[in-house]
Amino acid sequence: MRIKWFSLVRITGLILVLTYHFFQTKFTGGFIGVDVFFTFSGFLITALMVDEFIKTNEFKLLDFYRRRFYRIVPPLFISVLVVLPLTYFVDHDFVTGIGKQIAAALSFTTNYFEIATSGSYENKFIPHLFVHTWSLAVEMHFYIIWGIIAFIVAKVSRHYRTDELSGVALFRSILFVVSGILAIGSCLAMAIGAMGLKDFSPVYFSSVTHSFPFFIGCMLGIVTGIKNHIPTYKRITAAVNQPIATGIMVISFLALISLGYWMKFDSIVTYQGGMVVASLLAGAMIYGARLLHDHTPNINEPRWATFLADVSYSVYLYHWPLYVIFSHMMSNTLAAIVTTIVAIILSAISYYILEPVIAGKSAQFLGHTWTWRQLQWPVLAVAAALTINLGVVVKHAPTVSLLEESLWVGGIYQDIDKLTATHDAILAAAKPRDKQNKEIPAGVSIIGDSVTLGTRAYLGANVPDSSIDAEGDRTMNLAYQVMMNQQQSHTLRQYVVICIGTNSLDDYAVQTMKLVNDLAPGHKLIFMTPYNQHATASWNSTKSAVLERQLAEKYKFITVADWDKAAAQHPEIFQGTDGVHFAGRHAGDVLYADVMNQGLKEAKDKPAK
């Protein structure tokens, strides 16, 4: 039995996820689309469990697992095999460690693999092609555990039913209580676990902390069911009408879209109630759809909605790796369009032809009937070729990307220089006050982020008389602390180069002005403007560059080394990268040093503060 309008719930989840991945800086909370899917899965699976128990007076665990296997595993295997040939069109760095990623995806452990490797959708370097399969891992863990619980509860309900309490009522009651306890426990685990975190990926990816949407859906599924309902639901259905049911759906949809714009991945509020609200709204939308189904017996669901709902799972599987690849071959908007079209085509082939045939059924698609006998040899031949390709890609995949290697080498040099600087500072502090040198040291102090760290070795050799302090994910407030520490220890040199801004936070203007105002007299300040190939005018990094140019016009002691402008004129050095780092490429090292030296040259003719 297919419930009309449930397709709109699935499509809502898909829209949220796609817009988040395609336009992450504008639709910052679209990740709640996963919570919509989770809630719907919990609802549907549990409602079907109740229907099965009512019909057969038992719950067949192995049949449940078999159905889940054929729905989840074949599309996943197919998507992995199909995507890998496309990696030949982008830089080899994108398949770094791909074997481990594939192993994690196919074993449904991606969520814990990403926690262990500090992975995230918001990874600022080379994103994992299969990071999105973390949700499949959480979902599979839910199915395994919830299936066992339902099996045990079914046994108990048959054994302990009474004249006053039927086995069905007992089955529903126990499942409802258990799902409520698990939902509350998971919510609390996320809220408590998020305390004190700067990176929330561990609580976002964990099956323990992110399983509550499933159990919220379970509770709803127990109440409404698919074919069988409790008396309360029947009374509510009789009390409402079509406009009210439609209103529930529309209001829930608009609220979810609003959360998609408002919520942020790096906000504690998201993990201490935000995603719970999203799951409850998803539940409300599901409930509205269920009511609307009962009140629209003579209205058919649009075929486009049914189609998109059918392929939504496979679209989810394909969209992320396709987008990662296409976004490094074309503009972001075009990549989003191409990704969506290709993902839908591949998903339709998978859902309507390959998956039924693999499961031993005949497939109906575009007016034709397809059977395993017809498709056997073409499917096996293509599968063999793709499997061989998988082995080749995995075998030749680098274990460390060029970017990671350059950051690792830069970090070693950084640690050595810090030890030297600490040694010198201790010796200087040990001298009597009257013999301590209070003069500003000559030379260049470079304070940067991961871009600077990646080219540190080349920069140190090609920017004369320079000291470099660079660190990944450094923001302007952290750069300010480094500058003030050097200033107080009298190690801050005459020329101060600030290479920060790619990781600009909302307070970038305040922090930048704080740095400008608290720089001691006698120094010359050079801002190296940040560059991000994917940035638009609304990004903080772009606004930071604009502010730095304005400051150079206002203050004579400030100079701009316009990396943003120079890098934009040389897109070839970012080909196949994340659009921020040039992955240890010599041409990028040379250009970066040239821009900085040009800024220092211009600063020589300007007065100090």
Query: Does the pLDDT at position 435 exceed 60?
Result: no
- How confident is the model at residue 457, as a pLDDT? 85
CB half-sphere exposure, 5, CA atoms < 13 A: 22
- How confident is the model at residue 292, as a pLDDT? 93
Q: How many residues does the chain have?
A: 609
Query: Does the pLDDT at position 154 exceed 70?
Result: yes
- How confident is the model at residue 222, as a pLDDT? 93
From residue 519, give the alpha-carbon distance in Å to each of 15, 421, 547: 47, 20, 17
Residue 329 CB coordination number (10 Å): 14
User: Where residue 426 falls among pLDDT bands split at 50, 70, 90?
Assistant: low
Which one is predicted more confidently, 372 or 10? 10
- How confident is the model at residue 433, as a pLDDT? 57
User: Where residue 520 falls among pLDDT bands split at 50, 70, 90?
Assistant: very high
In sequence order, what are the residues at sequence separation of 6 or more whose Cβ sits closer than 8 angstroms to the Cβ of residue 173?
A: 165
Percentage of the chain beyond pLDDT 70 is: 91
Consecutive H or E run containing 436: none
- How confident is the model at residue 499, as a pLDDT? 94
Tokens for 470, please give them. 């660079």
- How confident is the model at residue 129, as a pLDDT? 93
| DSSP secondary structure code for residue 300 in this structure | P
Task: Give me the mean pLDDT over the 514-523 stretch.
Answer: 95
Which one is predicted more confidently, 161 or 80? 80
Nearest-angstrom CA–CA distance, 323 and 337? 9
Query: Does the pLDDT at position 432 exceed 70?
Result: no
Task: Return the CATH number of 402-604, one of 3.40.50.620, 2.40.30.30, 3.40.50.1110, 3.40.50.1820.
Answer: 3.40.50.1110
Query: Does the pLDDT at position 438 exceed 80?
Result: no
- How confident is the model at residue 404, as a pLDDT? 67
- How confident is the model at residue 68, as a pLDDT? 95
Task: Give me the mean pLDDT over the 4-27 stretch.
Answer: 94
- How confident is the model at residue 121, as a pLDDT? 65
Which one is predicted more confidently, 92 or 586? 586
> What tens digit of pLDDT does each residue of 266-277 get?
899 999 999 999
User: Where residue 425 falls among pLDDT bands split at 50, 70, 90?
Assistant: low
The three-point CA angle 309-312-315 to 5° equals: 150
Query: Does the pLDDT at position 333 exceed 70?
Result: yes
Task: Give me the mean pLDDT over the 102-108 stretch.
Answer: 96
Query: Does the pLDDT at position 364 exceed 60?
Result: yes
Query: Does the pLDDT at position 422 exceed 70?
Result: no
User: Which one-letter amino acid corresponds to residue 549?
Assistant: R
Task: Give me the mean pLDDT over the 312-322 stretch.
Answer: 96
Task: Give me the mean pLDDT over the 447-468 stretch.
Answer: 90
> What tens digit of pLDDT does each residue of 584-596 get?
788 999 999 999 9
Q: How far is CA 248 from the centre of its chain?
A: 29
Nearest-angstrom CA–CA distance, 265 and 199? 9
| Strand order across the beta sheet in which 524-528 lies | 466-470, 444-448, 495-499, 524-528, 558-561
> What tens digit of pLDDT does each residue of 171-186 get?
999 999 999 999 999 9
Query: Does the pLDDT at position 429 exceed 70?
Result: no
User: Which one-letter amino acid corresponds to residue 69?
Assistant: F
Query: Does the pLDDT at position 191 exceed 60?
Result: yes
Task: Give me the mean pLDDT over the 510-535 stretch.
Answer: 93
- How confident is the model at residue 269, as a pLDDT? 95
- How confident is the model at residue 184, as a pLDDT? 97
> What tens digit of pLDDT does each residue of 192-222 get?
999 988 889 999 999 999 999 999 999 999 9
Range list for CATH 3.40.50.1110 in the chain: 402-604
Q: Is 427 helix (H, G, I), strand (E, B) or coil?
A: helix
- How confident is the model at residue 120, as a pLDDT? 67
Nearest-angstrom CA–CA distance, 129 and 41? 24
Strand partners, 339: none
Whether residue 361 contacts residue 55, with contact meaning beta carbons closer than 8 Å, is answered with no
Dihedral of alpha carbons 327, 330, 331, 333, sign: negative
- How confident is the model at residue 127, as a pLDDT? 80
Asked whether the whole model's pTM tops 0.85, one would answer no
Task: Provide φ and ψ at 58, rounded to 5°.
Answer: -160, 170
The three-point CA angle 21-26-28 to 5° equals: 60
> What tens digit of pLDDT does each residue of 29-41 get?
999 999 999 999 9
DSSP secondary structure string for all residues of 57-91 = SS--HHHHHHHHHHHHHHHHHHHHHHHGGGGGGS-
> What tens digit of pLDDT does each residue of 497-513 get?
999 988 877 888 999 99
Closest CA to 329 of 161, 87, 584: 87
> What tens digit of pLDDT does each residue of 215-256 get?
999 999 998 878 877 788 778 888 889 999 999 999 999 999
What mean pLDDT is reported for the chain? Answer: 89
DSSP secondary structure string for all residues of 178-237 = HHHHHHHHHHHHHHHHTTT-S--HHHHH-TTTT-HHHHHHHHHHHHH-SS---HHHHHHH
For residue 586, count CB atoms less than 10 angstroms from its CB and return exposed for 0-12, middle for 13-18, buried for 19 or more.
Answer: exposed
